Amino acid sequence: MSLDLPIHAVLPDIRAALASAGAGVLIAPPGAGKTTAVAPDLLGEPWCTGQIILTSPRRVAARAAAERMAEVLGEKPGETVGYMTRLDSKVSARTRILVVTEAILVNRLVDDPELPGVSALLFDEAHERALDSDLGLALALETRAVLREDLRVLVMSATIDGARFARLLGEGAPVVESEGRSFPLAIKWLGGDGSQTIEDRVAGAVMTAWRDEVGDILAFLPGVREIERVRERLEARLSDVPI
């Protein structure tokens, strides 16, 4: 990948960890690039002859991660990078990196624990503990211990206890840490009478930032429906700006 992300500094350490120990823990702060940079970097490893499966706790995040990796590779989702969720999927015979929700991985491990054709499992956002994430990791470790010693397992998060997870992965599993970057933060409060919907208020805040600031804008909303409504409002006001 050509982008300069903080995670790039530790990619050699991740490759070494998976080559020697077969498992490891990656701790990297938000924005370091772990979700979209690690899996593509592993494709060239001698042991990586099959697919890399990357788990994501949410359907929207799984699709977004796959779309971003495909974009950086100059492709569309479903080629080298694909995704699979309960309601949507884009995957082909060419797919080497498959982003899935945790429930999809659990079902696959239950159906065929040996995971033929899979070289590595990457568990992203491991701190978001849930039944499917915990069960998926437990089943993956059982597969690695009993059926597939060659299966690589990497647990990734910003906040987990790295040493604790390393012990869970087995003796010799290293912990790799990425420092990330720090940027100045300024909080600005916008007025409002409380009668506006969240979509109107967020769209208004984005418009204010677009007029007053320089650079890209990232807005957080609670769900897909709210995201789409804000996008519609912004596209109506900023027809020449990519939303």
| pLDDT (mean) for 131-157 | 94
- The domain in which residue 201 lies consists of 184-243
Task: Please tell me whether residues 148 and 195 are part of one structural domain.
Answer: no
11 in a structural domain? yes
Element containing residue 223 per DSSP (H, E)? none
Is this structure's pTM higher than 0.85?
no
* Domain C-terminal end among 146, 161, 177: 177
197 in a structural domain? yes
Residue 194 has pLDDT above 90, yes or no: no
In order of 121, 124, 181, 183, 190, the CA distances from 187 in angstroms are 39, 29, 19, 13, 10
Least confident of 78-82, 107-111, 180-184, 225-229: 180-184
Residue 70 has pLDDT above 60, yes or no: yes
Cα separation, 119 vs 197, whole angstroms:
47
Residue 2 has pLDDT above 50, yes or no: no
Burial degree of 30 (CB within 10 A; 0-12, 13-18, 19+): exposed
CATH of the domain at 59: 3.40.50.300
1 in a structural domain? no
Residue 193 has pLDDT above 60, yes or no: yes
Confidence of residue 226 (pLDDT cuts 50, 70, 90): very high
Task: Please tell me whether residues 158 and 203 are part of one structural domain.
Answer: no
Cα separation, 231 vs 243, whole angstroms:
7
Task: Please tell me whether residues 82 and 192 are part of one structural domain.
Answer: no
Residue that is written with structure tokens 């109107």 in the block: 200
Task: Please tell me whether residues 122 and 65 are part of one structural domain.
Answer: yes
* Domain C-terminal end among 160, 177, 194: 177
Q: How many domains does the chain fold into?
A: 2
Confidence of residue 174 (pLDDT cuts 50, 70, 90): very high
| pLDDT (mean) for 41-57 | 96
Confidence of residue 1 (pLDDT cuts 50, 70, 90): very low
